[in-house]
Amino acid sequence: MKEININTEEQKKLALEYSEKPEVLNELLNDLKIEVEFLGRQKHFESDTEEREVIKVNIERNGRKIDFNFGLSLKDSFNGAFTIGSQKELFSPLNDLLYSILCSCRAEFYCSKDFEDWAWEFGYDIDSRQAYKTWKSCLKQSAKLEKIFNESEMECLPC
């Protein structure tokens, strides 16, 4: 499927509005290529009981590229916006997609390197194999994001 650029002026407005450093974020966004690809309805998290719309996010900066799957909220998945139409129509109702992805990146960037600390912070049982697996996934995502962003840049992302 064709990728859709979401790093547009319209999408930037909300992200900049909720950034503590909008000028820095605007410069950063000008340096990024962010595209999404519709993957369809599926279970995104192991704990999902319902399917949701999932997109593949591709971020490129200075020759470095990362990609990851991003599950839309169940509300966005079932409001009828995704049932028909081309991909351009598909994402038009989601004016906050760039904002949502950037907020998620900021949260996922800061993953404790210590499992017990991470489990305590997020309310997981340290004896749970599922919790350990989730933590390892978070570490993997954090490492991907570190290829594109540094810590000071994370501070300008919306939260």
- Quote the pLDDT of residue 5: 85
11: closest CA among 27, 24, 29, 23? 29
Boundaries of every domain in the chain:
4-154
Distance CA 108, CA 92 (A): 26
Q: DSSP letter at 41?
A: E
The whole-model pTM stands at 0.82
| pLDDT tens-digit map of 18-32 | 999 999 999 999 999
Q: E strands, 9-152, where? A: 33-42, 52-61, 64-71
